[in-house]
Structure 1
């Protein structure tokens, strides 16, 4: 598509002389800027810090779509999301989902049971590290009927990334207190339920299931969409050893499929959250 200069300049004009903007105001400015440059269907912006539940800063979903893309995602699926793991690695730039996903992601149970509900053909994210170990990810999404981003449009996004990064670091600085408040609220909730109050829910999922540390690492990678070969490379063990650990996990949990493994994962995550 051709650049809509009038719309682009209009979006810039909203920031002139404006030292602060609300989440909605800056999110809408970002949306307008991107709409002047490329075609997309949705925008969603999350802030990530460690293993904590991501904070939603802005989105363009209707209420029904918001349940899938935001509410359900924050309840647990984010822990298996390639964007989440990329944010935890503190990588920066404009990155495509398909370039970040593990080798078996698109055939994983997570993809089949959750991600397909989004109906997306492609997702591209601006990964921007701000202060205090926080990464803000601004995602542009295209539905299946729209198709993936053409190479020329993706190149345009790469060119505009330094400007977007500067604006994000200005308007979305100082997010740490929001994470601190969320963590405090979660800890109070877990203490009321008689659970450990000082650990993120992500760290307690497998705690009571008699899995070793190595087994826990392996099943986490399985659910993220890594093959046994990929897991072996990441953990520096043989593919055969990975398969032995996977069989032991299934035996301990009394299951026979990745579908059952994912169900246990999400049930335990929700009960510990």
Structure 2
């Protein structure tokens, strides 16, 4: 494949790649071809193509993560995606487009226990996500991860992705029309995850405390929680103190571990 310098405007080589994509548009290996073509335009270390729908578990369409990260990816898909900024942004109605993870993440995401103990396992310093809305409330996402050797995405590369996004979205729509039957979201997984969120701390925390606990786990600061719930920051701090007292926890790490234990107990029941 002819390479284009990362961040340059799509040119003749992109047109050749586009022709190749069109040739594979209804084939099962379209995601692999798409990966190859994107690599000729922008630089990235990892790629994860996944679909999201309501509270269903995400479905991995393609991943090029190294084998040693498979346990972390499996953990994400089966459990901790509930705390993921992308998942929650989609739940909140995120529209199609090109985003950096930090643009859609809660204000204290970097200091959240989910980020420290799960997301950071992937070793990324930047993540660029293409979000494409499909039929039946499905969101098709391409997450391009960059490690420290590449650094953050450049303005030129971001511009390139914005330029080609409408074409990529149209191609993905056609691929999905042909292959969506191979990627069916499981109704039981949606019910289980909704139940998990609704029942964490049940019988110990009040409904408001459960709501605030979920926002804490996702990486929202007290100030952000106050704005989301239209209450004072002081009230949030009181709730946080009460949550730790009722659950007998003292840190975010302990709260996160308890939440994972809750998920595991539900899966085993």
Q: Report TM bin, short chain.
A: 0.7 to 0.9
1:222 has 2:226 as partner: no
- Maintained 8 Å contact 2:24/2:30: no
Q: Is the 8 A contact 2:56 2:193 kept in 1?
A: no
Find 1:265's aligned residue among 250, 259, 262.
Answer: 259
Give the equivalent residue in structure 1 for 2:170.
166
Where do 1:25-104 residues align within 5 Å? Answer: 25-68=29-72, 70-91=73-94, 92-104=96-108
Aligned mates of 1:210, 1:167 — CA distance in 2: 49
Deviation per residue, 1:132-174 (Å, 9 max, x gap): 1111111111111211111111111111111111111111247
**1:46-81 Cα distance to aligned partner (Å, 9 max, x none):** 11111111110111122212322x212112221111
1:12 aligned residue: 18
Separation (CA, whole Å) in 1 of partners of 2:154 and 2:139: 26
Higher relative contact order (CA closer than 8 Å, sequence separation 6+): 2
Q: Distance in 2 between matches of 1:165 and 1:141?
A: 19
The CA distance in 1 between the partners of 2:107 and 2:41, in whole Å, is 31
Residue matched to 2:147: 143
Residue 192 (structure 1) aligns with: none
Distance (Å, rounded) in 2 between the aligned partners of 1:17 and 1:258: 50
Distance in 2, Cα, partners of 1:176 & 1:198: 22
- Give the aligned length: 259
Q: 1:126 aligns with which of 123, 130, 141?
A: 130
- Aligned-residue Cα RMSD (Å) equals 2.3
- TM-score, reference length from structure 1: 0.86
**Displacement, 1:220?**
0.8
Give yes or no for the alignment of 1:117 onto 2:111: no
Alignment match, 2:249: 255
Instruction: Determine whether 1:21 maps to 2:27.
Output: yes
Contact (CA 8 Å) 1:122, 1:143: kept in 2 or not?
yes
How far 1:262 moved relative to its partner? Answer: 0.2
Q: CA deviation at 1:6?
A: 6.6
By how many angstroms is 1:240 displaced?
1.1
- Residue 87 of structure 1: SS of its match in structure 2? helix
Q: Gaps (5+ residues) in structure 2?
A: none
Q: What is the CA distance between 1:227 and its match in structure 2? A: 0.7
Paired with 2:262 and 2:153, the residues of 1 have a C-alpha distance of 37
